[in-house]
């Protein structure tokens, strides 16, 4: 199953809104077939592994990281091929939360020996965005920030390039390639004029989402270099002239109700879900980060902490309304590791 999970990881950033799935077929203690879901619309992991195994699949054991599908979608049901192949046993890491999927029951009903729950925690974490989206139709949201040892993302003059090491920045670009979309606020566009690409690694550029309540970002900002994957989120009170100018450049506009004079992030996340965006990484400044956390849309945080002290400067997170330490937000399932010279801390809210 560990090999199947490694195979599944190869689909990162390519299968959304489908899950990442890996499959291994074993016969007489030898692997006779391997496969992973490479891209939405292409054959599932089980089918690729079965094709490789061919006749050797008869009386073999299949290890698959997610419950096989039993319905017609963009591809035929995997359970039919599994039964036809002569596979005798199917070992599954975890159930699929999609109500249309009932492969475990189907295979059992058809007489195959089945087990489920092998390395389940790892399998669920791999597809945490998919699982949340299938349950709620809302994307999984990560807040990522890079800060100094004393929690600053920039100096008092606004300088922030670069707090973390090249190794950490490459890590972030890899993360971008694995998320459907990256979200920043208008202040970040105006101050830093970022490209929001994955230029430091090989991978797909994410959809760019700019939260801009009053549409104050300049139309010559770098985010407009490719408007086919650009979404501007604003309020319904935004200037109509600027809305038309942005639409003429080819970007998509999402207008929400105004909440406390800002874009309603909950409404925005709901609209992004309708577009089948299953995961969003927020790379904002203090204001967007704090508003996202307060609104309850954030599932996970990821902080890079660089071994430098800035002193007076800009905070990573704005006001959360916390007045006593015991009411601070406590992270769960915390993991920390070294990334170059920096420390990476991640946890769930």
Sheet holding 113-116, edge to edge: 30-36, 22-27, 61-64, 89-92, 113-116
Q: Position of tokens 């290890």?
A: 63
Alpha-carbon span 165 to 200, nearest angstrom: 13
> Dihedral, CA atoms, 116, 118, 123, 128, nearest 10 degrees?
60
HEC per residue, 49-92: HHHHHHHHHCCCEEEECCCCCCCCCCCCCHHHHHHHHCCCEEEE
Alpha-carbon span 280 to 181, nearest angstrom: 5
Tokens of 180: 């459907």
Tokens of 26: 């074993």
SS3 assignment, position 134: helix
SS3 assignment, position 264: coil
The active-site residue out of 2, 9, 42, 46 is: 46
The count of other CB atoms within 10 Å of the CB of residue 287 is 18
Q: Of how many residues is the chain composed?
A: 349
Instruction: For residue 36, report the phi and psi dihedrals to the nearest 5 degrees.
Output: -145, 155
The count of other CB atoms within 10 Å of the CB of residue 196 is 27
Tokens of 13: 């950033």
The answer to whether 305 and 342 are in contact (CB under 8 A) is yes
The answer to whether 185 and 285 are in contact (CB under 8 A) is yes
Active site residue 106: no
- Catalytically annotated residues: 46
């Amino acid at each position: 199953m560990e090999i199947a999970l490694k195979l599944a990881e190869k689909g990162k950033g390519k299968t959304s809104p489908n899950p990442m799935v890996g499959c291994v077929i074993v016969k007489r203690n030898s692997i006779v077939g391997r496969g992973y879901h490479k891209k939405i619309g292409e054959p599932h992991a089980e089918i690729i592994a079965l094709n490789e195994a061919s006749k050797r699949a008869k009386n073999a054991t299949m290890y698959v990281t997610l419950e096989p599908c039993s319905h017609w979608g963009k591809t035929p049901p995997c359970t039919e091929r599994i039964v036809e192949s002569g596979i005798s046993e199917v070992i599954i890491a975890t159930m699929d939360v999609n109500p249309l999927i009932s492969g475990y029951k189907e295979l059992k009903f058809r007489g195959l020996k089945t087990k489920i729950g092998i390395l389940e925690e790892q399998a669920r974490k791999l597809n945490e965005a998919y699982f949340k989206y299938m349950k709620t139709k809302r994307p999984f949201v990560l807040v990522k920030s890079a800060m100094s040892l004393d929690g600053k993302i920039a100096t008092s003059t606004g300088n922030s390039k670069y707090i973390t090491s090249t190794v950490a920045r490459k890590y972030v670009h890899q993360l971008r390639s694995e998320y459907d979309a990256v979200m920043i606020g208008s202040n970040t566009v105006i101050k830093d004029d970022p490209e929001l690409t994955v230029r430091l690694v090989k991978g797909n550029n994410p959809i760019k989402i700019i939260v801009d309540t009053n549409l104050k970002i300049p139309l010559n900002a770098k985010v407009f270099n490719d408007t086919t994957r650009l979404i501007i989120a604003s309020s319904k009170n935004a200037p109509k002239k600027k809305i038309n100018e942005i639409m003429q450049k080819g970007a998509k506009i999402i207008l929400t109700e105004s909440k406390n004079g800002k874009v309603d992030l909950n409404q925005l996340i709901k609209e992004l879900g309708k577009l089948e965006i299953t995961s969003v990484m927020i790379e904002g400044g203090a204001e967007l980060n704090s508003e996202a956390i307060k609104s309850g849309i954030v599932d996970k945080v990821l902080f890079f902490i660089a071994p430098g002290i800035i002193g007076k400067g800009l905070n990573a997170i704005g006001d959360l309304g916390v007045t006593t330490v015991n009411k601070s937000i406590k992270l769960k399932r915390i993991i920390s590791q070294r990334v170059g010279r920096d420390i990476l801390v991640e946890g769930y809210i």
